[in-house]
Amino acid sequence: MSIDSQWHIERSQEILGKHPEIKQYFGHYPPSILAIAFLVALQWLIALLVKDLPWYLVGAIAFFVGQFILHSFAPVGYNRYMPESNSAITNQK
């Protein structure tokens, strides 16, 4: 485990110690599949729209538009697909 990962676990445990009410927000949220499906469809649509553009425009669009879409996945997937990181934070197995 990297030092950065350990820092996240320690920080999360510290926050949970000070604010245990946050734990109610942990868990699965099934409607998030709608957000995931929308973001994936948006990525495919953009790919179809830029397929005939020059490489430098595709790169610019990927950098300025695609990164926003990519980073939108982080809140949806954080601790959803890696339950071991969630259990490390909450000290549950």
Exposure string over 19-42, b if 16+ CB within 10 A, otherwise e: eeeeeeeeeeeeeeeeeeeebeee
The pLDDT averaged over each successive group of 10 residues in the chain (93 residues) is: 73 89 81 86 93 95 88 66 48 48
Query: What burial class does residue 60 get, using C-beta atoms within 10 Å of its C-beta: 0-12 exposed, 13-18 middle, 19+ buried?
Result: middle
CA-closest candidate to residue 46, choices 30, 68, 62? 62
> Can you tell me the distance from the alpha carbon of 10 to that of 22, in angstroms, rounded to the nearest whole number?
16
Q: Tally the domains of the chain.
A: 1
12 token code pair: 């999360």
- Put simply, whether the predicted model's pTM sits higher than 0.75 gets the answer no
In this prediction, residue 83 carries a pLDDT of: 47
In this prediction, residue 77 carries a pLDDT of: 59
